[in-house]
Amino acid sequence: MSFEAKYHSTCAESGDAILPGQIVESVGNGYRHVVCPDDEALSVRPGETPCTDCFMLHRPGQTECES
């Protein structure tokens, strides 16, 4: 059974923060997100492209690696 978190906690599955208002469920002696939120810092933004040469994300319009 899932419910809305009322207090801060830590997700037992991912280790990420649980914030009030997120939907969680009880597991063992803790709680976990029903759906863990994506980390915005790790997401590819629109227009960015992953480079197969340098393994970095290229900004929109960038055509060459910045070495």
Domain edges within the chain? 2-33
pLDDT single digits (tens) 13-59: 888 899 999 999 999 889 999 987 666 656 677 778 888 888 788 88
Tell me if residue 21 falls in helix, strand or coil. coil
Strands 9-10 and 17-18: antiparallel
Strands across the sheet containing 2-4: 2-4, 23-27, 30-33
The confidence score (pLDDT) of residue 39 equals 62
Instruction: State the pTM of this model.
Output: 0.54
Q: CA-CA distance, 48 to 67, in Å (whole number)?
A: 17
